[in-house]
Amino acid sequence: MAVAVRVIPCLDVDAGRVVKGINFEGLRDAGDPVELAHRYDNAGADELTFLDVTASSGNRETTFDVVRRTAEEVFIPLTVGGGVRGVAEVDKLLRFGADKASINTAAVARPDVINEISRHFGSQVLVLSVDARRTRPGSQPTPSGFEVTTHGGRTGTGIDAIEWAREAADRGIGEILLNSIDADGTKDGFDLELIRLVRAAVKVPIIASGGAGEPAHFPPAVAAGADAVLAASIFHWGPDNMMSQVKQAIRDAGFEVR
């Protein structure tokens, strides 16, 4: 039996404010994270993802106070990422109210941290955030044509995104938040090729992220293999009933949705 699709708003937070850009650049203010979290909870979101988008690049910890205040306002699972480097940060996030922790840059730098966190807390607590983009002209090509980036999409690694997803799944990651840097903020639709490639490589749940501009964009991502769909702009600046529109579009396409 297929598991019902989850619809997840994303709160990209910088200095305590929700921001959104295009291709991870040109960030503009979208509001207070606590207020938005409360709004999305009431609108029927299945989960929330809170990403401190400059925590790794700025070499600072996630804004724990905002996490605590956000967790107090919502009664749905909360995933928090940004600046997570190991067991200590995950432990603190869980104590401040997060249900899951998302890791990216630190795992690329030292993959063993995945094993350490999953052994300590269980795989269900750990989400691998993969910020993937197509390899650029002049850069070293990867087997799949997609490479992993770090530091909020600003730093290329030359690591093949599909192979990295497979390795992380083998190490004990609970699910993968698959962010398309190329599609991010464009509102042109999800990167279906990227989703299909990762789906073929791993059995863990995939959360598709990047590119949603209208409700019709969500069912193709599910058809490509996503277990959950995540978006920001469409919810931040769309009509108040956008959550229900998205869920209805997925339902109308023949998929079960929460």
Q: Which of 131, 160, 184, 227 is catalytic?
A: 131
Distance CA(176)–CA(102), nearest Å, equals 9
Residue 131 annotated among the catalytic residues of the structure = yes
Provide the 3-class DSSP secondary structure of residue 151: coil
**Quick one: tokens of 171?**
């190490």
Return the residue matching tokens 């093949």. 160
Beta strands at 126-134 and 48-52: parallel, antiparallel or unpaired: unpaired
**Quick one: tokens of 4?**
């019902």
Q: Which one, of 33, 15, 127, lies nearest residue 71 by Cα?
A: 33
> With contact defined as beta carbons under 8 Å apart, do 61 and 81 qualify?
no
**Quick one: tokens of 200?**
């073929």
Residue 188 annotated among the catalytic residues of the structure = no
Give the end-to-end CA distance of the chain in Å, rounded to a whole number.
14
Rg over CA atoms, the chain: 17
Q: Which of 12, 52, 191, 227 is catalytic?
A: 12
Distance CA(7)–CA(228), nearest Å, equals 6
Enzyme catalytic residues = 12, 131
